[in-house]
Amino acid sequence: MSLGSKKNSGQHEADGAVLVLGGRSEIGLEIATRLAPGRTIVLAARRSGDLVAERQALLDAGASGVECVEFDADDLESHEDLLRSVVTTHGPVSVTILAFGILGDQARAERDARHAVAVVHTDYVAQINVLTHLATLLRAQGSGRIVVFSSVAGVRVRRANYVYGSAKAGLDGFASGLGDALHGSGVALMLVRPGFVIGRMTEGMSAAPMSSTPAQVADAVVRGLRRGSARVWVPGRLRPVFFVMRLLPQALWRRMPR
């Protein structure tokens, strides 16, 4: 199914606004750039007034308009009002991309409980809060696609990054269940499981095998949206690899690098 081939409540999905929660995210901006022509893009981030270059890049990519709004992922109480305002002002919102998150410092998290909780709060708790409010609003709208970023780190959690991986494992399970709950509502959730992504978040780290770039992840996401996919692995060959990885004995698995 192409992104604009199915009507929901009299609206073509390709006609609606695109909301990027995490307006500085390299992956989020790459996706928005590909979806920009003829659309309104809403970039939600802290210090939204500083998103001058990001806004101009999307206008140059053909967006009909770009609005930058304040969004603090860790301020749970603010989420509902923000999402309601975006839907009211720019609805129908056709695609919402949850592009916020932190990698954290695994070594620090093993010593510092506050840091471990901060990683899990942003990468799991905040995402659940956003998704629950968003699903309610989109159900009322009767249409919309939600893009959620899990990770292969959450498919089977490794000792090398178990704090981040545990948050992604929880998010993967929640998003999978929410996607099933949304079936038949006109709203669909696409769960994306990238491997190691070479970018700002992983700067200074050695790239893992089968790494990808933000542009490659964005290409896969847009293809998935056009096909109506429920699951997207990036790159796709990670899916059979992790099918095998799940079968490794724990004694071997705990030695696996990030």
Residues labelled as active-site residues: 164
Beta bridge partners of 146: 96, 189
All residues at 6 or more sequence positions from 132 whose CB lies less than 8 Å from its CB, including other chains: none
* CA dist., res. 73 & res. 101, Å (int): 8
All residues at 6 or more sequence positions from 71 whose CB lies less than 8 Å from its CB, including other chains: 21, 22, 23, 44, 45, 46, 48, 78, 82, 100
Q: Where do we find the tokens 């510092």? A: 112
Residue 107 is encoded by which pair of tokens? 């070594």
Strand, coil or helix: what is 99? coil
What's the gap between Cα 25 and its chain centre? 10
* CA dist., res. 128 & res. 192, Å (int): 16
